[in-house]
Amino acid sequence: MRSRRFSPLVHGGLLTLTGAVLLLLSGFVDELRTYQGAQVAVYVIAISSIVLLTGYSGQISLGHGAIMAIGGYAAALSFVKWNFPFEIAILFGVIVGTISGFILGVAAARLSGPYLAGTTLALAVGLPTLADQFRVLGGEQGLNFDIGDPPTWITKIEGSSFTQYKWFFWITTIFALFTLWAITNLLHSSFGRNWRASRNNPVAAGLAGINVARGKVLAFTVSSGLASLAGALFGLLLGLVTPSAFPLSLSFAIVTGAVLAGVGNLAGSIVGAVVLVAIPEFSGTLATHLGNSQKVSANLPGLAMSLLLILVVLFLPNGLGSAQLVKKLYKKFTTT
């Protein structure tokens, strides 16, 4: 696979095709599934920001939930206070998130391993509390980010069956596919090669003329831009942004998703995102079968997710979509 020449055009074409199929399919599933599809798309963006940062640049962040909050709040603020159209509001969220990511990245490039983990963890806990401090951020009630019904030009083409959730699904899916396409191109460019070289052997990369520190800052900045895009879309799905929408557990969840995906595997981020949405769903069904006591239904999703995470780290360290597993299955099918 590696040796085959990578073409952004072919790749882009494939993703466009996938998008078209997905969008057509969205007409055949019910509302709940459409909404969950949109959630998956948002998680794909969030997880791929971690894949880029950890898998390719070797930095760890436990605070990407906070950066999602920056993106979400900036988008909602510009939407509510300045009446930006929502597309521009999302773009504004991404710009603010990218700038904050650059500032953080400059500091982060000096820190390694656990020190970086600790700093970003403190950010994840500390930043959402800012909303209580400034009245303009709306306190615990948060800010409204309700973009309303789909625009008329779509309902004209698609008919009145085109609901708000379907509109959400379209927006998020298009952003997710575009993100995947852009990151793949970036990773195949000289930036991507420099990141991999710096991660594998920083001293040798430095000797070869790569500015390792600058690469790290750049990776953190791009990753933060993606995380803030995910945050803005997350707010759009919820219809509002609140401090409790971006808890510490969100930061942990996207890192979990990245590990389930395999941290060095961009395509795996789709697997990770599906698992993040599917586990609560499945364990909810299971809890109902187990008698639906409050204790069980409250704790089963967490239990299932933690068990899966531990098993994956121990037995499939390259993720659920890991190449080894696929290769093994492929060999089995082709040799018999």
Partner 1 sequence: MFIDTLLIGLSSGAIYSLMALALVLVWRSTRVINFAQSGQAVLSTYIGYEITLRTHNYWVSLPIAIIAGALLGSSIDLLFIRVLTKRVKSGPIAEIAPVIATLGLLGLIQSLIGLIWGNAFLQYPSPLSAKGFTFGTHTIPFSPQNSMIVLSSAAVLAVFGIIFKYTDLGLALRAASFQPEIAQLAGVRVARVRNIGWAFAGSAGAVAGAVITPTSTLSPNSLDLLFVSGFIAAVIGGLDSLIGAVVGGVVLGVGFSFILQYIGSSVTFLMGFIILMIVLLVRPRGIFGSKVGRHA
Interface with partner 1 by CB under 8 A: which residues?
A: 54-56, 58, 60, 62, 107, 110-115, 117-119, 121-123, 125-127, 129-130, 132-133, 198-199, 202-203, 205-206, 212-213, 248, 252, 255-256, 259, 262-264, 294-296, 298-300, 302-303, 305-307, 309-310, 313-315, 317-318
Q: Cβ of residue 191: shortest distance to partner 1, in angstroms?
A: 17
Q: Of 117 and 325, which has the nearer Cβ to partner 1?
A: 117
Q: Cβ of residue 278: shortest distance to partner 1, in angstroms?
A: 17
Amino acid residing at 172: T
Q: Cβ of residue 298: shortest distance to partner 1, in angstroms?
A: 6
Q: Of 58 and 235, which has the nearer Cβ to partner 1?
A: 58
Chain-centre distance for alpha carbon 228: 9
Q: Of 12 and 280, which has the nearer Cβ to partner 1?
A: 280
Q: Cβ of residue 308: shortest distance to partner 1, in angstroms?
A: 8
Q: Cβ of residue 118: shortest distance to partner 1, in angstroms?
A: 4
Q: Of 26 and 256, which has the nearer Cβ to partner 1?
A: 256
